[in-house]
Amino acid sequence: MMGVTWSNEAGQRLTAGGKSLEYAAWGPKPADAPTLVLLHEGLGSVALWRDFPQALVDATGFGVLAYSRAGYGASDPVDLPRPLDYMTREAEQSLGDVLDAAGIEHAILLGHSDGATIATIYAGSVSDMRIRSLILLAPHFFTEPDGLAAIRSAGDAYANGGLKEKLAKYHDNVDVAFHGWHDVWTDPGFAAWNVGDSIDHLRIPVLAIQGRDDPYGTLAQIQEIETRIYSPLETAILDNCGHAPQSDQPHATLEAVREFCARLDRIEREIVQMA
């Protein structure tokens, strides 16, 4: 039973993982169409998806739900320092509550960066028949030296280069949002972080999209999926694209998502007709 108002108006709230989270919704309600559930990057929020949610509705005909995780946007803050396994905790302790609160019936988890990792952990560790597929934008499953160097550079930009002022437009507590991400990734103990085993347990179709010029992750992240996955996988490797395919190559990204969702929907309808 849907417990939220299906609207993209500002100020919408739901409760998950014991926190009050901001959310917004576009397009058909969960009872009327599949829902793309958006999980933002490590410095993201509902607002930072910009016009991507409506573009997804227009391209797929599906509904879209986006929410800011605790510590981001206008959602409740979190205590710092975050634990090094914060993405696993987010998957296991909060995402399911979001799906419950929103009345999600048939979901495609679409995650970007940290959000892609959280989506993979959830689908690989939680038995939830609502999750029909994953769309992963710039996913990461282990650390890479160049990516860690880019995060350290972001720390300098936050302290000295105006990044804090830019992010403050999108986060009520910008220091919590930034340091909750940056300080984990630059912690010496995080260098050995690896959640690749989540891929081993996926049994649903996956679309992975990666930019060739991503400073935070290389094609080794995509190769990790290709090596470990047992379920159907499609990949889109985009030229002239950095860490945000939805912004750097919006047309190519939307087209890949549209085709993937159309095939899934057609296959599921055929299965229903045959049953």
Would 266 be classed as within a structural domain?
yes
Strand, helix or coil at 169? coil
Would 101 be classed as within a structural domain?
yes
The residue segments making up the domain with residue 74 are: 13-274
Would 32 be classed as within a structural domain?
yes
Q: What pLDDT sits at residue 1? A: 47
The runs of H, that is alpha helices, within the chain are 52-60, 86-90, 96-101, 114-125, 145-160, 163-167, 174-185, 197-200, 220-228, 245-248, 250-274
pLDDT tens string 78-104? 999 999 999 999 999 999 999 999 999
pLDDT tens string 108-159? 999 999 999 999 999 999 999 999 999 999 999 999 999 999 999 999 999 9
Q: How many domains does the chain have?
A: 1
Closest C-alpha to 231, from 133, 84, 105, 117 = 133
Would 2 be classed as within a structural domain?
no
Closest C-alpha to 117, from 87, 89, 160 = 87
pTM (predicted TM-score): 0.96
Would 227 be classed as within a structural domain?
yes
pLDDT tens string 156-183? 999 999 999 999 999 999 999 999 999 9
Would 3 be classed as within a structural domain?
no
Would 6 be classed as within a structural domain?
no
Beta partners for residue 38, in sequence order = 66, 110
Cα distance between residue 197 and residue 52, in whole Å:
30
Would 173 be classed as within a structural domain?
yes
Cα distance between residue 245 and residue 41, in whole Å:
12
Q: 67: domain CATH number?
A: 3.40.50.1820
Long-range contacts (CB closer than 8 Å, 24 or more residues apart) made by 186-191? 186/148, 186/151, 186/152, 186/155, 187/81, 187/84, 189/84, 190/84, 190/143, 191/143, 191/148
